[in-house]
Amino acid sequence: MVKIKGYYQLPGRLPQAVDFEELFDRSFMRRFTHCRSFERFLAGGHFRVRSQAEFEALPEEEMDAYVRRATRFGSWKEMLDTATDLYARRQLLRE
């Protein structure tokens, strides 16, 4: 499994890197998709990702189309924003 990272920012703080396996945890994936992990989600869309750069180079329109078919979201951005918001809330509750 390739480690894919994104960034989130809590109010008043600097952006922080977060591993997508944490951002798209099992709870999120089970709630919003039919996959148990983000890795399986990508595989289900026939996206071959072996590096962060390959992930970032995925055509957004292809990712959007797959997200619409495989999730409750209308776009990749909506899925990512929702996961980021839920992750940020969990981080705030830990403080």
CA pair distance 32, 24, nearest whole angstrom = 10
Q: What is the pTM of this model?
A: 0.83
For residue 2, pLDDT over 60 is answered with no
Q: State the total domains in the chain.
A: 1
At residue 11, the pLDDT reads 59
Which residues form the domain of 86? Answer: 5-94
At residue 93, the pLDDT reads 76
With CA atoms as reference, report the closest residue to 55 among 27, 29, 21, 82.
21
Owner of token pair 């990508």: 42
Where does residue 6 rank: exposed (0-12), middle (13-18), buried (19+ CB within 10 A)?
buried
CA pair distance 28, 40, nearest whole angstrom = 13
For residue 95, pLDDT over 70 is answered with no
With CA atoms as reference, report the closest residue to 2 among 27, 24, 19, 26.
19
For residue 56, pLDDT over 70 is answered with yes
